[in-house]
Amino acid sequence: MEWKDIIASRRNYFVFTDEVVDKKIIKEVFEETYLYAPSQNLLFPYEVRLYRNNNTEIKKQLLELTHRNSNLDTENDPGNPQVLAPWLIGLTYREKHNTNTAAKDKNPCELELGILLTYISLGLKNRGIDTAFCKCIRDINAVGQIFGTDKVDVMIAVGYGTSATKWNDLRTGTIKDTPYDLTIVPDSRINKRSHQGLFDKIFKL
């Protein structure tokens, strides 16, 4: 795929089909990311875990652990249905950098984790595979236990996304609307950006 096509077609999908992406493809993207993603002093201050998400009870737990709106009860919470995807990638900070740079009071792990998320999601998109991010994790330790580790700070859902506007909330056994409609939101956001006139304020050429 051309670069513009990759970044223009990437969506944060909420609903995925049941088709399971070949694990070898995900491993291939991991290997490329490891080789080419920048990391200060090659410390790689994160851990990446792949989880095959095929247990209904665990899926229900994940929905409970990623309750979207703390001001709403479960019945009314729009939820994070992307955690029902066939594969989930759990990312966590493995260690803190020991750095003598001018920004030593800042932890660059968050920056590197953001770069990692981008490489993985775009690497998968280049192969026709969809993703979604989820950082609404209410208990990083409980999610970590599901992944077989101490904690998970952010997840990437992996699969073949759909533009479905409804999903089955396993917490309540009800059909709910997705948090937003993917058939209209991406284009509307691009149009909004075009009319905001912020480009020249953000990018100084």
More confident residue, 195 or 52: 52
Domain assignment present for residue 201? The answer is no
Domain assignment present for residue 114? The answer is yes
Q: Average of pLDDT values for 45-71? A: 96
* Domain count across the chain: 1
pLDDT at position 25: 98
Beta bridge partners of 89: 50, 156
Q: Average of pLDDT values for 42-62? A: 96
Q: Give the residue from 91, 96, 20, 87 showing the smallest Cα distance to 49.
A: 91
Domain assignment present for residue 104? The answer is yes
Domain assignment present for residue 200? The answer is no
The answer to whether the predicted template modeling score (pTM) of the entire model surpasses 0.85 is yes
Domain assignment present for residue 195? The answer is no
Residue pair 94/46 in contact by the 8 Å Cβ criterion: yes
The pLDDT of residue 103 is above 60: no
Domain assignment present for residue 205? The answer is no
Domain assignment present for residue 190? The answer is no
Domain assignment present for residue 57? The answer is yes
Q: Which residues contact 178 (CB under 8 A, 6 or more apart)?
A: 14, 15, 78, 81, 164, 165, 166, 167
pLDDT in tens, 164-200: 999 999 999 999 999 877 766 666 777 777 777 788 8
Q: Work out the pLDDT band at 47, boundaries 50, 70, 90.
A: very high
Measured on CA atoms in the order 135, 150, 27, 83, is the torsion positive or negative?
A: negative
Q: What is the CATH number of the domain that holds 61?
A: 3.40.109.10
pLDDT at position 107: 63
The residue range of the domain holding 153 is: 3-179
Measured on CA atoms in the order 171, 134, 131, 187, is the torsion positive or negative?
A: positive
φ and ψ of 31, to 5 deg: -65, -40
DSSP-derived 3-state class of residue 84: helix
Q: Work out the pLDDT band at 100, boundaries 50, 70, 90.
A: very low
pLDDT in tens, 136-164: 999 999 999 999 999 999 999 999 999 89
